[in-house]
Amino acid sequence: MAHEWCSAICKNRQCFEDWESLLFDSLEIGFRHLDPRHHHIQAELTYTEHYQVLVDTAFKSKKSEVIADLLHAWTAIAGGRSVGREFFDICVRHLVGLHDLVPFSSRLRRLVIRSVGVIGFKVFEGVGVERFVELLNHLHVTVEDMDEKYEWAKLLLDTLQSSGGAQHLSLWYWELLVELAVSEPPWLRDDLAYSTGVTTFLTEAQEWSKLECWMGTVWVMWPPGDGGMLEEDISCTMLLLFRQRPGAVRKLEQWMERWSQKYGEDVPESFQQICKQAHEAAQLDAP
**Do residues 141 and 190 both lie within one domain?**
no
Provide the pLDDT for residue 209.
96
Provide the pLDDT for residue 75.
80
Query: Which residues of the chain are modeled with pLDDT < 70?
Result: 1-3, 5, 37-48, 77-86, 185-191, 225-229, 283-287
Domain total in the chain: 2
Cα angle 104, 1, 120 (rounded to 5 degrees) comes to: 45
The domain boundary, picked from 129, 147, 165, lies at 147
| Domain of residue 23, residue span | 1-147
Helical spans, DSSP H, in 76-207: 85-95, 106-119, 121-125, 129-139, 149-160, 165-168, 171-183, 196-204
The reply to whether 160 falls in a domain is no
DSSP 77-97: BGGGTTS-HHHHHHHHHHHTT
**Do residues 138 and 196 both lie within one domain?**
no
**Which H or E element spans position 239?**
helix 229-244
Provide the pLDDT for residue 244.
93
The reply to whether 153 falls in a domain is no
Provide the pLDDT for residue 13.
79
Provide the pLDDT for residue 25.
87
Contact status, residue 53 vs residue 13, Cβ threshold 8 Å? yes
Nearest to 132 by CA among 89, 172, 93: 93
Provide the pLDDT for residue 24.
86
**DSSP 8-state class, residue 228:** S
Is pTM beyond 0.75? Reply is yes
**Do residues 139 and 202 both lie within one domain?**
no
